[in-house]
Amino acid sequence: MYCEFIERDWLNKFWHAGLPKHHPKMHYYLNTFPHADGRARPVGPETNPHSVLGFTKWLIEEIKMCPQSGKDGE
């Protein structure tokens, strides 16, 4: 199956299946310097959801925590 943006698709599927967005042992590593398979992906701008900066912006919004409750912003 072809996925236009596999990283985002993977995260959405695993979060939906129960993978926590926030956990003391959960870390998100962003490959902001693409190589090999990711080298053709544009670096910017943030308004392009398929660029490296666009994905980074999306991920920050998805995992942002609500400052009052300390829980997910959902």
Sign of CA dihedral 43, 62, 16, 47: negative
What's the pTM? 0.69
Task: Please check whether residue 52 is in contact with residue 41, taking contact to mean a CB–CB distance below 8 angstroms.
Answer: yes
Chain segment 11-52, per-residue pLDDT in tens: 999 999 999 988 888 888 876 666 666 667 777 888 988 888
Helix axes 52-63, 6-16, angle to 10 degrees: 10
